[in-house]
Structure 1
């Protein structure tokens, strides 16, 4: 396929592609979380991030990629004729939690956030129309230190800042996200940052689990 955003890259191309892609993604049962158009040499990279409550598998990525490729085929005359690469992926663990649906999809995960100027670390217990309940943990600021439960805290959306999912090294009982957890030696709980630790080759990133489905069109 030879379609690309052509010379109309940047905000104009992004707005146009968003208008085309959003209804297709929604009809397939996903949310369009992000869309980015960037020049890369003599071609363009169109990167699309999708998500849904039940998660996104590799097969899901391939399905959405095919549907969006069909859209670009149909709109070929409107976009010009430079080569492009279409990438469809799911959000990585470093994606900030900014919308209620982001928090809802991370129930059970450990997050960091700011609430009324206070830095908090806690596990997402529940999410509703009013806000989020966090099982707050205290201490453990240094590597190797154990955090201790400090009770649940209810935060309204107005109080809550953006959140960041934390990569965990010892899986809590019933944890639903094995791909976010590295079960290392028994040296006590050790929380990593959202970019993973520097001292292991086993960095886990959800984007690696659901790598971009690319098609050189």
Structure 2
């Protein structure tokens, strides 16, 4: 863990999502950033870790990867990076697909359009909705990838 932390200190825009060390000294490091990651970001972290390990003493396999686009958001920094994108957010009470318009004071701010029954007459009309949800109330949140744009 110390080697990963030292590697991440070189670029304060990067942060650790997951670290797994399994049998046979297989090391898997998943990182994300406040900006989009490049292959060179993963290479730099890999080199920072590998430079401090000695294969002569103990062999290991090292994999450093960026957090996948389909992975759930787990840290507040990830939400900030995704402002302006559409999210699928699950809480205990509901599931919302909405645009993430802001992150502040431990909450995310969502906006979306919903179809609701008209107050008078038959049929439905579109209504603009918005909601702020505290991080601790979010059970799962994922970016919705739209290939139609």
1:20 aligns with 2:9: no
Q: CA deviation at 1:118?
A: 0.6
Alignment partner of 1:91 out of 57, 63, 67 = 67
Q: Which runs of 5+ in 2 are unaligned?
A: 116-125
> Following superposition, which runs of at least 4 residues in structure 1 exceed 6 angstroms of deviation?
none
Change (3 A) 1:44 1:138: farther
Alpha-carbon contact 2:33-2:78 (below 8 Å) kept: no
Count the aligned residue pairs: 138
Q: CA deviation at 1:104?
A: 1.0
* Structure 2 Cα separation of the partners of residues 71 and 128 of structure 1: 38
Counterpart of 1:152? 130
Q: CA deviation at 1:114?
A: 1.7
Alpha-carbon contact 2:114-2:129 (below 8 Å) kept: no
SS in 2 for 1:71: coil
* Structure 2 Cα separation of the partners of residues 23 and 51 of structure 1: 15
Q: Which runs of 5+ in 1 are unaligned?
A: 1-17, 140-147, 172-217
- Which structure has greater strand proportion? 2
Counterpart of 1:166? 144
Alignment partner of 1:31 out of 5, 12, 15 = 15
Alpha-carbon contact 1:95-1:164 (below 8 Å) kept: yes
RMSD: 2.3
Alpha-carbon contact 2:30-2:67 (below 8 Å) kept: yes
Structure 1 length-normalised TM: 0.56
Counterpart of 1:117? 93
